Chains A and B, each alone.
Chain A
Amino acid sequence: MGEVILTMKGIDKSFPGVHALDHVDLEVRKGEVHALMGENGAGKSTLMKVLTGIYKKDSGTITYEGKEVEFHNTREAQDAGIVIVHQELNMLGDLTVAQNVFIGREFKKGIRIDDKKMNEEARKLFDRMHIDIDPTETMSRLTVGKQQMCEIAKAISHDAKVIIFDEPSAALTENEIEELFKIIRDLRKQGLGIVYISHRMDEIKVITDRVTVMRDGTYVGTLITKDSTKDDIINMMVGRVIYEDPKTQNMTPKGSPVVLKVDHLNAGKMVRDVSFELHKGEILGFSGLMGAGRTETMRALFGADPIDSGDIYINGKKVIIRSPQDAVRHGIGYLSEDRKRYGIVVQKTVAENTTMADLDDYSNGPFINKRKEHDVAEKFVKSLDTKTPGVDQLVVNLSGGNQQKVVIAKWLTRNSDILIFDEPTRGIDVGAKNEIYKLMNQLAAEGKAIIMVSSEMTEILRMSDRIVVMCEGKKTGELDISEATQENIMNMATREID
């Protein structure tokens, strides 16, 4: 490790209602690979966005190459030599490799683009990186791994001095990861500072020199990788917070029947061989890090995305679910993580949203029975304590927590027995959160079977009777609440799978 090239000190950033970064520090040296770790929402991406000028910091200082700097956009950061290699690749598939690498700064011959020179320059660049890619190849014909190499080449060609890798290995195969690591080691030898964001504990051990851990927008600490264990890092990630009334034992009645059984479910890349059972009156928590495939599993189960293989049994009977229509008919209700997009119709009223899944029962032939609709909406506004001036109010005017209650009312109106709550309290303030929790417990006590997908550890430990943990599309563990701790859940959620 060489001298310090980049120091971020006391970085503070607030968004309306959220203190995203609370005096965070980060130091990167020349010739080091520095891991940035933390749970979902810990503030890693926000910190990097502040660094590269996408967000403007509220306070704190950024010192780069000995001078205090503030970038106003990624272009400025890039020109100074700080480049991000994103998780999602920003490539134009129909252009050639060389055209992609030099996009926005093409070599020109008069007014014509000099493709020959670009190909030569790209080839020189690849040679320097010891990678074998034909610059004249069409981008979309390369594997994801090779595309990522191109993205890195692009970063280097900007004369980068600091490269930030945002979960670079997420889409790569084992061999491609090896190749990636070779390049990263090479860059380290050349004296670049590298920030490496990843959830994969094993990679962190292999490739990084130091680890900075963040939690809930705060800086927790920095460790020397080779002197610390995986458990040290996990302990720093989860912290030692005491949560209010976590569940200590499984509240599901003994001998409660299995209402839903999912057997070896496969759907796309993100749902691989997932099996689990759900009992009547149970809250089954689904934990895992971002991109673990939990939402994808639920969407497949609900028929929103196609299933490749696997069986679903409801009340012991095998069912075929090809569309949300089938799922709803079998008594499943899905409350999406993204209410505005998937949950409610904002230009419709509370009453109209309430009957959305069950309009047939509130119609006489083709005509809607508005009185009956009005009555059922009133009933649920009262029983769920939804704060709205009336059931004829457009849902767009309701707060997040109350919109969530309208979605709950929709599925209760339909009388669904299996409710999937995907991030039920995302974007909901604390008071409303508690109400939603109370409601979920009440529904479980009434005999509904509930699946709760949550990225918040506190929520998982507070609400679940049992916990399924997923990592990279696979189920990596199942725990009863009595044996669950933050540590063993996090262990499962970061488990390397081969």
Chain B
Amino acid sequence: MESIKQNPLVKKVGFNRIVLCIVLLLLYALFCVLTGGSFLGTRRILSALNYAYFLGFLSLAVTFVIATGGIDFSIGPVMFCCALMAGFSFNIHGVPMGAALVISLVVGLAFGIFNGYLVAYWDVPSFITSMASMNIAKGLASVFTQTQSVSWPQLDGDGGWFRNLVTMNGIPVGLVILLVIAVICAVILNKTKMGRYILSLGSNKEAVRLSGVNVKKWEMSAYILCGLLVGIAAIFFVGAYTTVQPGYGDQYNNEAIAGCVMGGTSMAGGLASISGTIIGVLIISLLQEGIMALSLDKNLQLIITGVIVIVAVFADVVARRRKN
């Protein structure tokens, strides 16, 4: 075991991520067998990917916040709020589709700024801040849409071109966009001052502050980036599932956090992996597709993600304890 971990190639890719990839493949093989082969075709994979897009952006979003040592329970409802406000503006107020997409990003950004400001400058615990924003997002969307669900246009409808961002002529464009943005996130996290400061303050905020760094600014930046990514997630959610209802969205918080911590990001802050997050998201998406394909109870998904979060966090705690 130790010798495998010391292998230079394994070290480079990361032991954790290799294990995750193996889990992903085994899971896929398992579903292929259990469904009698129907999983082999592209239909199921594309369907799983549809789920992976919005969840991927959500999970990337929360990765930055968790890296600072914070948490965000508002991402799911904020995503719905973005989709509802942008879609309602398009449907009812006649805003052009391009502008509607921008609205989605702006709403996400606004929540990010709000959360980040409270956490970084006012020292409100992120747990509390995000719980409050979750309610604000739900309430705001309900008021804005008069508690009506909002359906986004179909591909052939007016403004339906935005669906090409998800799939164009059967090509999974969404996957390309997700991967490109994931690479950008990885660059931000690992190659820039912003990423360095986010991870460092997640590990030891006081030491970074006493190095003369403006920790408030950098902590807030993580939440702003998070908000922007949630705005993007909203576009991919409606691109795949069309209709959003006000008052929902919390079910995706846990899945996004599960993808993130499974991928090796520490809930205690200071450690984060973008590639790990993406693999984690793929596992969860595959799981949800498999559960659907096998016509199992949908609530099984809730139980499994719950267990994943606990196991992943527990593993992190054990690893830390061993280090000390």
Residue numbers of A with Cβ under 8 A of B are 302, 304, 324-325, 327-329, 334, 336, 341-348, 352, 356-357, 359-360, 363, 366-368, 370, 396, 410, 414
* Docked-complex contact B193 and A342, CB < 8 angstroms: no
Contact of B206 among A342, A346, A359 (CB under 8 A): A342
Chain A residues in 8 Å Cβ range of B191: 367-368, 370
Q: List 21 A-B contacts (CB under 8 A).
A: A302-B210, A304-B209, A304-B210, A324-B210, A325-B214, A328-B211, A336-B210, A341-B206, A341-B207, A343-B210, A345-B200, A345-B203, A345-B270, A346-B204, A357-B211, A357-B213, A359-B213, A360-B193, A366-B192, A368-B192, A410-B211
Q: Which residues of A contact B196 (CB under 8 A)?
A: 352, 359, 368
Contact pick for B213, options A336, A346, A352, A356, CB 8 Å: A356
Residues of B contacting A327 with CB < 8 Å? 212
Interface check B322, CB cutoff 8 A: no
A344 and B212 form a contact (CB under 8 A): no
- Tell me which of A327, A329, A346 has the highest count of chain B C-beta atoms within 10 A of its own C-beta: A346
How distant is the Cα of A368 from the Cα of B192 in the complex, in angstroms?
A: 5
Is B199 at the interface (CB under 8 A from chain A)? yes
Residue of A nearest to B271 (CB): A347
**How close is A390's CB to chain B, nearest CB, in angstroms?**
14
Q: Chain A contacts of B271 at CB under 8 A?
A: 347
- In the assembled complex, the CB of B99 is this many whole angstroms from the nearest CB of chain A, namely 29
Q: Is B110's CB within 8 Å of the partner chain A? A: no
Q: Give the chain A neighbours of B210 by CB distance below 8 A.
A: 302, 304, 324, 334, 336, 342-343
When the two chains form their complex, are residues A356 and B200 in contact, meaning their CB atoms are under 8 A apart? yes
Q: Max chain B CB contacts within 10 Å: which of A336, A344, A368, A396? A: A368
Contacting residues, chain B, for A359 (C-beta < 8 A):
193, 196-197, 213
Residues of B202-242 contacting chain A, CB below 8 A: 203-204, 206-214
Tell me whether A345 and B193 are in contact (CB under 8 A).
no
Q: Among residues 262 to 290 in chain B, which have CB atoms less than 8 Å away from a CB atom of chain A?
A: 270-271
Q: Within 8 Å of chain A (Cβ to Cβ): is B128?
A: no
- Contact across chains for B212 and A329 when beta carbons are under 8 A apart: yes
Q: Is the CB of B200 within 8 A of A348?
A: yes
Q: Does B323 contact A (CB under 8 A)?
A: yes
For the complex of A and B, list the 4 residue pairs with the smallest distance between their C-beta atoms, beginning with the closest. A328-B212, A357-B211, A347-B203, A356-B211
A347-B271, A359-B196, A366-B193 given; A325·B203 CB < 8 A: no
A341→B212 contact, CB < 8 A: no
Q: How far is the CB of B306 from chain A (nearest CB, A)?
A: 28
CA distance A327 to B192 in the complex (A): 24
Kindly list chain A residues whose C-beta atoms are within 8 Å of the C-beta of B173.
none
Most buried by A among B192, B211, B323: B211
Write out the residue numbers on chain A whose beta carbons fall within 8 Å of the beta carbon of B213.
Answer: 325, 356-357, 359
In the assembled complex, the Cα of A341 lies from the Cα of B210 at a distance in Å of: 10
Are B193's CB and A357's CB within 8 A? no
Q: How far is the CA of A342 from the CA of B209 in the complex (A)?
A: 9
Enumerate chain B residues within 8 angstroms of A366, measured Cβ to Cβ.
192-194
Residue total for B at the interface (Cβ-Cβ under 8 A): 22
Smallest Cβ distance from B93 to chain A, in angstroms?
Answer: 37
CA distance A367 to B184 in the complex (A): 12
- Asked if residues A344 and B192 are in contact (CB atoms below 8 Å), the reply is no
**CA A410 – CA B208 in complex, angstroms?**
11
Additional A-B contact list (7), CB under 8 Å, known A304-B209, A345-B200? A328-B212, A334-B210, A342-B210, A344-B207, A347-B270, A348-B200, A410-B211
Which of B192, B204, B270, B323 has a CB less than 8 Å from the CB of A341? B204
Task: State which of B194, B208, B214, B323 has its C-beta within 8 Å of the C-beta of A396.
Answer: B323
B200 touches A344 (CB 8 A): no
Identify which of B197, B204, B270, B323 contacts A344 (C-beta below 8 A): B204
| Contact yes or no, B200 A352, CB < 8 A | yes
Q: A370 to chain B: which residues have CB within 8 Å?
A: 191
**Residues in chain B near residue A344, CB distance under 8 A:** 204, 207
The answer to whether B193 and A363 touch across the interface, beta carbons within 8 angstroms, is yes
Report Cα–Cα, A327/B214, bound state, in Å.
12
> Contact flags (1/0) for B64-78 with A, using CB distance below 8 Å?
000000000000000
- Structural contact, A324 and B323, CB atoms closer than 8 A: no
Distance in angstroms between the alpha carbons of A343 and B208 in the assembled complex? 8
Tell me which residues across on chain A come within 8 A of B197, comparing CB atoms. 359
Instruction: Say which residue of A328, A343, A368 sits within 8 Å of B207 (CB atoms).
Output: A343
By a CB distance below 8 angstroms, the chain A residues around B200 are 345, 348, 352, 356
Closest chain A residue to B203 by CB distance? A347
Are B209 and A324 in contact, with the CB atoms below 8 A? yes
Q: Which residues of A contact B206 (CB under 8 A)?
A: 341-342
A396 shortest CB reach to chain B, Å: 7
Known: A348-B199, A367-B191, A367-B192. Contact between A357 and B212, CB under 8 A?
Answer: yes
Complexed CA–CA distance, A396 and B319 (Å):
14
When distances are taken between beta carbons in the complex, the residues of chain B under 8 Å from A324 are 209-212
Q: Which of B191, B210, B212 has the most CB of A within 10 A?
A: B212
Contact yes or no, A345 B207, CB < 8 A: yes
Residue of A nearest to B217 (CB): A325
The answer to whether A348 touches B212 (Cβ under 8 A) is no
A334 to B208, CA, bound (A): 12
The one of A329, A341, A368 that contacts B193, using a Cβ cutoff of 8 Å:
A368
Q: How far is the CB of B203 from chain A (nearest CB, A)?
A: 4
Instruction: State the CA gap A348–B271 with chains docked (Å).
Output: 10
Chain A residue at smallest Cβ distance from B266 = A347
Q: How far does the alpha carbon of A326 sit from the alpha carbon of B148 in the complex, in Å?
A: 52
Q: In the docked arrangement, what's the CA distance between A360 and B212, Å?
A: 12
B contact residues around A346 at 8 Å (CB) = 203-204
In Å, the complex CA distance between A410 and B207 comes to 12
Report Cα–Cα, A366/B192, bound state, in Å: 5
Query: From residue B194, how far is it (CB to closest CB) to chain A in Å?
Result: 6
Q: Kindly list chain A residues whose C-beta atoms are within 8 Å of the C-beta of B270.
A: 345, 347
Minimum C-beta distance from A410 to chain B (A):
7
Q: How far is the CB of B130 from chain A (nearest CB, A)?
A: 24
Minimum distance in angstroms from A335 CB to a CB of chain B: 10
What residue of chain B has the Cβ atom nearest to residue A370's Cβ? Answer: B191
- Supposing A324-B212, A347-B270 touch, asked if A342 and B192 sit within 8 A by C-beta, the answer is no
Inter-chain CA distance A328–B271, complex, in Å, is 27
Residues of A within 8 A of B214 (CB): 325
**Which A residues touch B212, using CB under 8 A?**
324-325, 327-329, 357, 414
For B214, give the chain A residue with the smallest CB separation. A325
Question: How distant is the Cα of A357 from the Cα of B203 in the complex, in angstroms?
Answer: 16
**How far is it, in angstroms, between the C-alpha of A366 and the C-alpha of B194 when the chains are bound?**
7
A325 CA / B218 CA spacing, docked (Å): 13
Q: CA separation between A24 and B202, bound complex, in Å? A: 45
**What is the CB-to-nearest-CB distance from A307 to chain B, in angstroms, rounded to a whole number?**
16
Chain B residue at minimal CB-CB distance from A334 = B210
Neighbouring B residues of A363 by C-beta, 8 Å: 192-193
